[in-house]
Amino acid sequence: MDESERKLNKYEMKRDFNKTPEPDGKEASLEWAKDRPVFVVQKHAASTLHYDFRIEVDGVLKSWAVPKGPSTDPSEKRLAVPTEDHPLEYGDFEGNIPEGEYGRGTVLLWDRGSYRNLKEDPESNPLTKQIEDGHITIWLEGEKLKGGYALVRTGKAENARWLLIKMNDKEADARRNPTSTEPNSVKTGRSLEEIRDSRD
């Protein structure tokens, strides 16, 4: 078992792949991804509506649940709650998780693209170290989100929480509200309701 497979143990334990259409993690690639590491944001109508922010790190998607979704306004600090690592192929998932299954509800692929490490010396400051240190800075090249973003850990141990913050750069825009003005899927163009009713 390689390291990425070990990281997915929690993901696999929470799911019955005979019932859920979610990927089982056996395909470690994404057709739309190029040479750079990827990020995705999935809009998830589960027990409560939230956005799952995921970045590729060492063969898996490190994941945070963002209740209000990402912002393009640097003055807004969005709560980001860590969740289990997901397989890379989850970055293409869109559909309905059935009742009775973990994360039940509708998942929409809200944004996707590549990212790069903004540290001055990325080799000595890889994303794994930034996660351990509790301060991540990356530049997103998505279809909706662009520019620098920081993920900052606050608190310690069980009280630890993260904040997702837009950095103050040329892509910052306090007037823009993409979660409201651009609600549909970047994969299919569908709305959350259309995906829910399709029973994919």
In the three-class reduction of DSSP (H, G, I as helix; E, B as strand; rest coil), residue 172 is classed as coil
Contact 140, 149 (CB under 8 A): yes
* Residue 189 DSSP label: -
* pTM, entire model: 0.90
d(CA 139, CA 179): 19
Predicted local distance difference test score (pLDDT) of residue 1: 44
Provide the CB-side half-sphere exposure for 59 (13 A, CA): 11
Q: What is the pLDDT confidence band of residue 24, given thresholds at 50, 70 and 90?
A: confident
pLDDT, average across residues 87-110: 90
Predicted local distance difference test score (pLDDT) of residue 2: 54
Sequence-distant (6+) residues with CB within 8 A of 34 are 114
* Residue 3 DSSP label: H
pLDDT, average across residues 111-121: 91
d(CA 13, CA 84): 11
Q: How far is CA 78 from CA 37, 52, 162, 188, 196, in A?
A: 23, 12, 8, 27, 26
Identity at 14, one-letter amino acid code: K
Matching residue, tokens 């998505």 = 142
Predicted local distance difference test score (pLDDT) of residue 61: 95
Per residue in 147-189, pLDDT tens? 999 999 998 777 789 999 999 999 999 999 999 999 999 999 9
Most confident of 22-26, 36-40, 99-103: 36-40
d(CA 80, CA 51): 9
